[in-house]
């Protein structure tokens, strides 16, 4: 488990992280989300002992990273795919990491095969694409077969096959009971793989909840229903919830479940052409949550919670 408690990091006049508290539990993929400059990378660097907090704590299985007896066997991380000596081969990079951590050299070949580097592992890193560097960084993170994994933007530079591969890798680790924390700006990927999301902005916690709860949002669930008897159905539904006429023959009902709406329509013999709960995308839920925390905003048309441009 990763535990962040009242974590604060001050750089001169800038407070990058401000009283941040959350847990990353085993057996789940936890998405770590936030706008540029929100403090995600700073938080992950503190977890890995690369930065020192101004106050508060960041621990892995109850200990700071510096106190772990065998770090690479307990936690693996990919924070910067460019932090590799360009003159070494990929295999040499992994062999040095293995030897310095008391790991068998045979493990190098295992992780090279696992991440799909193959013959490219014998080439110098300076000739690698960003996607190949990502694969090498993930291989290094997996060397010690750790139970805790941190990845900062692991999808960057990967092709379609690579994106699908890392998705399966992260999901598989969580299913094995490992602790997985991954930051990304790709909300569609987070919606596919994350069980839980932690959203921060300007260094503070905005949300810490299961993905399903985030998608439903803070308001009551909404139901879209279409019927040729929409006006009469609306009158019947007013007692149980709030009804909005969105277009001819279509209603959006708040405060009732789809089952409740369907039961009332059935009892009154109103035909239904459509009945479904409206679920917003993680992207639009995220944009709504972080609207007041974006430091580098751009202009453009606004979008509704359902993704319709206004």
Q: What is the pLDDT of residues 165-176, one digit of tens each?
A: 889 989 999 999
* Average pLDDT over the chain, rounded to an integer: 90
Q: Helices (DSSP H) in the chain: which residue ranges?
A: 40-47, 71-74, 90-100, 106-115, 130-142, 160-175, 187-193, 211-216, 230-237, 258-267, 282-289
Inform me whether the pLDDT recorded for 302 exceeds 70. Answer: no
Beta strand 2-11 with 204-210 is unpaired
At residue 221 the predicted structure's pLDDT band, cuts being 50, 70 and 90, is: confident
Domain range 218-278, CATH architecture:
2-Layer Sandwich (3.30)
Ordered by start, the domain boundaries in the chain are 2-211, 218-278
Q: What is the pLDDT of residues 273-297, one digit of tens each?
A: 999 988 778 988 898 889 887 665 5
pLDDT, average across residues 15-19? 96
Q: Which tokens belong to 259?
A: 């089952």
Strand order, beta sheet including 28-33: 75-78, 148-152, 179-183, 28-33, 196-201, 204-210
Q: CA of 286: how far to CAs of 28, 194, 309, in Å?
A: 20, 14, 16
Domain range 2-211, CATH architecture:
3-Layer(aba) Sandwich (3.40)
The pTM assigned to this predicted structure is 0.79
Inform me whether the pLDDT recorded for 262 exceeds 60. Answer: yes
């Amino acid at each position: 488990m990763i535990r962040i408690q009242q974590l604060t990091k001050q750089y001169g006049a800038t407070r990058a992280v401000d009283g941040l508290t959350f847990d990353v539990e085993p057996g789940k993929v936890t998405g770590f989300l936030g706008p540029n400059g929100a403090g995600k990378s700073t938080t992950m660097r503190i977890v890995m002992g690369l930065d020192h907090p101004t106050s508060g704590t960041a621990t892995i299985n109850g200990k700071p990273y510096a106190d772990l007896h065998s770090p690479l066997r307990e936690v693996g991380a990919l924070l910067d795919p460019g932090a590799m000596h360009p003159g070494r081969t990929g295999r040499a990079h992994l062999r040095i990491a293995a030897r310095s951590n008391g790991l068998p050299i045979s493990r190098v070949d295992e992780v090279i095969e696992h991440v799909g580097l193959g013959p490219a592992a014998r080439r110098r890193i300076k000739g690698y694409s960003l996607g190949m560097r990502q694969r090498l960084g993930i291989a290094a993170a997996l060397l010690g077969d750790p139970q805790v994994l941190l990845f900062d933007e692991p999808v960057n530079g990967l092709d379609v096959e690579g994106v699908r591969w890392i998705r399966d890798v992260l999901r598989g680790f969580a299913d094995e009971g490992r602790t997985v924390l991954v930051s990304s700006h790709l909300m569609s990927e987070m919606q596919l793989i994350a069980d839980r999301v932690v959203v921060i902005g300007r260094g503070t916690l905005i949300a810490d909840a299961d993905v399903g709860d985030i998608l439903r949002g803070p308001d009551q669930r909404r139901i879209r229903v279409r019927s040729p008897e929409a006006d009469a159905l609306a009158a019947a539904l007013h007692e149980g919830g709030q009804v909005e006429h969105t277009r001819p023959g279509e209603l959006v009902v708040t405060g009732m479940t789809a089952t409740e709406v369907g039961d009332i329509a059935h009892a009154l013999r109103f035909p239904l052409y459509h009945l479904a709960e409206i679920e917003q995308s993680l992207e639009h839920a995220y944009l709504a949550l972080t609207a007041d925390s974006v430091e580098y905003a751009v202009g453009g048309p606004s979008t509704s919670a359902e993704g319709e441009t206004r």
